[in-house]
Every structure is written in structure tokens, then in C-alpha cells.
Structure 1
Amino acid sequence: MTIELTGRVAREKIKLLEPPRLDADTLAQFEALGDASSAVSDALDALGVGGAVSGSVLRCIMPRARLVGTALTLRNAARDGDPHQLAQAKDSRMGEIECHNLARPGDVLVIQGVSGASNMGSVGGRMGKRQGERGAIVDGAVRDVPDFQDINYPIWSKEVTPMTGKWRVECVEINGPVKICGIDVHPGDLVVADGAGVCFVPRQHIAAVLAFAQKKVQAEADKCAEIDSGKSIVEMARR
């Protein structure tokens, strides 16, 4: 499928117009797990794969939010030069708008971002919401939090700031590999996020992670039912 670009970002910075996306059934099965980041993290541990980031590092702007989706990636870098002079020249080099233009339902915008300046604002969030994005993960700062809350667009980010990134941030690449809090993420990877944190699952491990997480969630539900039924701790421990 050919997508018309906005022209805001040089074409050579867009690595893939269509990243590999997960099928709706797989996403639905992960969603059925509920707050699944802990089970997914355990699955990644069992596979020897690093992919979990604490919720105290990437904090969600919305209480009790969760998401499951396919990674659509953006890599930003800090700009050189005086931001006030760049503002007067109206010289913006952000590429967030191109990501929203490429987005499809079920995508999660994953940004290797910049500290101290916003990598994403409310207008972009409204575009993303209309395109069907589930939300965003930002290793860096965002702003306009009340606006994102109003449209129910959850974001997990390191920072919140009032300062625009238009004159402080520039797009390096879209739909290439990014590093989020030390974790390598590729376009098309699975993203699972809730109040406990964020997990990134490489595509080749998604089936195994799902099978493990489903058993883990069911086992814990069974244990909770036993506790609620009054079964003794000694009996449960012997099992």
C-alpha cells in the first residue's frame, strides 16, 4: 500500500512505509489478559529476553490505563543551536506528524526521544487517536497532558514539560530500530503497557510469550480463587 507523505520529513528518513503489523486476533488475546505486563515480563524472563521497563521509569499520564499494540517507531535527537532563534525563524524539524500519517488502527507510537523538551503534543495526539493509535511510549518528555487525558490517549513517558520540541528536537528516522530505556525495539514488535510498566516483545517471541502469559494469568486466578474460598495456606503451599 502506498501512503502519501506530508513532506514534513525527508523521504530517506522513513525506513518503511508499512511496518509488519500484528493480526487483530493476537492483539485481542493479549488484551484479554487484562493488566498483563507482569505476566509478559515473566515470560520474557523465561525466554531469556530483556524487554520490561518499570512503571516508575516510564510513567503513565492516566491512572489505570493499559494498552496492547504494534510498535510504530520514531527516533529523535536534540537539535543544535539557540531554540529562541530557531523559534523566530519558525524552523521546525520534528517528524511526529509523519508517524501519525503512517499509523493504522492498533499501532503504538514508540519514541526514542529527548529530555527537557516535548517529543509529542496534543495536536499530534488527536491525529493519532483519529488514526486508531492505542497510545504512545516516549523515552523522553511530552506536554499537554490534560488534552491527552481528555481524548483518552494514554502515554507512558519519562518526563512532562511545557517546553515545545519544535525548536529543540529533530526527527532522525521513522520506522527504524529505537532504544527505549536500554531496550531495543523494532517496528512491528508487540507493546504491552499498564500501571506496572511497559514490555516490548520481539516479533519472533510473541507466540511463546502469549502461551506463557495465558498460563500464568490463569494459574494466578486459580490461586486467588483458592484463597477466597478459604483454603489453608499450608495446603496451598504443599501443592
Structure 2
Amino acid sequence: MTRDTMGRIDPALIRLYDLPPAPAGVIEMLAAIEAPCELVSDALDDLGFNGVIAGSVLRPTILGSSIVGPAITLRNRLLDIDPFEAARGGHLNRQADFEAHNLTRPGDILVIEGGQEISNLGGISATMAKRQGGLGAVIDGGIRDVRHSRSIGYPIWCNDLTPRTGRWRQETVEINGPVTIRGVAVNPGDIVCADDSGICIIPLYLAEEVAARVATRIVTDQASLDFLASGRPLSEFPRPDPVMYQE
């Protein structure tokens, strides 16, 4: 399916106009957890998938935020051009984050593989995403207008805060194609979980298995908390894992 674009990018560079659907109930179940990333990270470990990015690497702009949703992906590429000469020469803005917002459906999360120490998303862009129902963004690169995005409740996980624009310095080369965020592969429609601890990327083919493992851990973790609240000796603490050392 194609839709009207905003004229910011060649439509052929938009690989998907509609995201593949997530398995029924998975996003809702994970979103109901106050901070899901620890449980999701453990499930991904169990399944042998490297899908975790530390919150100390891509830091949240709004502490306490927790979002879960499908990824809209965007890839930027640095331009080999003098940005000051480009600005004076009236070169066009080649970033196309607005086009990604044009595709955004309520509950989506924007994931950008972008330039470092320059902005991949600013205040107008964040407002556009929020208006479309976007939950937030994960950006391997910089952003600006952080005070504005905070004020409208649009959380962003990124590694650079800078006033320097990305216009003229980079161009968007693909929307809804594969991207790599700090070594983690992200495909459009993959499930993104992000909270204060970091970001987890769940590929769609693992979504149901991850959700099942998370549901089991919720039960076992609650049993552990109930035990600790009971006042019983720690020597009686339940040990679901094999004991590594015995006298």
C-alpha cells in the first residue's frame, strides 16, 4: 500500500508503508509491565539473541518513561559536503524524519540510525511524531530541542544532545528498511521496549516466545518477593536454578 508522501524523500526509498503486525496481545502484555526491559533482556538471553542496548549508552531524555511498540525505522547517511557552504548556498534539507512521522500510527516508536554529534530530530519533528500517536524514539545519534520534547512528553533514547542541525550534514537514505543501533539489528515492525535501564529489541519471530518467558518470570519473581516478605530464613529461599556449588 502507498500513501501520499510529504515530498521529502524519493518514495522508492520508503520500503514499507505499513508495518507487519505483531502477534496478538504481545505488545499489550509487555506494555502493562512497569519497567519491562530486565525481564525481556533475560528472555532474549535465554533465546540467544543479542537485542539489548544499555541505558548508559543511549540515555533516556525523560527518566521514568517506559514504552513498548513496533519500530518505524529510518537510516541517515553523512554527506561529504561543507555544511556552512551548503547553508549559504541554499541547499535543501535532506533529512526525512517528517516522512517517517507521516507513516506513524498510534503506538509506533521511531528508530533512527543517524549521525553523531548532530541532530536527527528536533522540536517540530518531536511534536509531529507526538501528534501522530508516536510513543517516543530510539536514536543512535544526536537530537536537539530536548527541553521541548520533554515538555510534550515525548521520550527519546539517544547518545548526543546538541544544538547543531543535521540539515545539510546528512541525508535520509531509507525508511522502513533494516537499521543497526549500537550493533543491534532492527527491522521495521520489531518490538521495541525502552525504559530507564535501556532498550530491548524483540524480532517478530521471537515475540511470542519472549512474551511467554516474561509471563513465567513475573510469576516466579512474585513468588520470590512473597517469600522475602514472609520473614522465613534465607536458607529456605527457593532455588529454581541448579546449585553450582555444594559442600
TM range (shorter): over 0.9
Contiguous gaps of at least 5 residues in structure 2: 241-247
Separation in 1, partners of 2:33, 2:170: 37
TM-score, scaled to structure 2 = 0.93
The 1:126/1:230 distance shift into structure 2, 3 A limit, reads same
Alignment of 1:40-119 (within 5 A): 40-88=40-88, 89-119=90-120
Please report how far the alpha carbon of residue 237 of structure 1 lies from its aligned counterpart in structure 2 after TM superposition: 5.0
Partner of 1:142: 143
The 1:103/1:238 distance shift into structure 2, 3 A limit, reads closer
Query: Partner amino acid for 2:222?
Result: A
Separation in 2, partners of 1:238, 1:202: 31
Separation in 2, partners of 1:94, 1:23: 32
Contiguous gaps of at least 5 residues in structure 1: none
Query: Partner amino acid for 1:204?
Result: Y
**1:82-121 alpha-carbon deviations (Å, 9 max, x no partner):** 1112122142100100000010011100000110100001
TM-score, scaled to structure 1 = 0.96
Separation in 1, partners of 2:148, 2:22: 29
Q: Secondary structure at the match of 2:217?
A: helix
Query: Partner amino acid for 2:198?
Result: G
Partner of 2:209: 208
Query: Partner amino acid for 1:28?
Result: E
Report sequence identity in percent.
Answer: 41
Separation in 2, partners of 1:51, 1:200: 5
Separation in 1, partners of 2:59, 2:46: 25
Partner of 1:22: 22
Query: Partner amino acid for 1:3?
Result: R
Partner of 1:156: 157
Alignment of 1:115-134 (within 5 A): 115-134=116-135
**1:9-33 alpha-carbon deviations (Å, 9 max, x no partner):** 1112111111213367322111122
Separation in 2, partners of 1:130, 1:221: 38
In 1, are the aligned partners of 2:23 and 2:208 still within 8 Å (CA)?
no
The 1:123/1:70 distance shift into structure 2, 3 A limit, reads same
Partner of 2:184: 183
RMSD over aligned CA atoms reads: 1.4
In 2, are the aligned partners of 1:33 and 1:214 still within 8 Å (CA)?
no
Please report how far the alpha carbon of residue 195 of structure 1 lies from its aligned counterpart in structure 2 after TM superposition: 0.7
Q: Secondary structure at the match of 2:209?
A: helix
**1:151-208 alpha-carbon deviations (Å, 9 max, x no partner):** 1001000111110111212101000000000011100100001111100010000000
Separation in 1, partners of 2:109, 2:49: 21
Residue correspondences, number: 239
Query: Partner amino acid for 1:77?
Result: R
Mark the structure with the bigger radius of gyration.
2
Where does structure 1 differ by over 3 angstroms across 4 or more consecutive aligned residues?
none
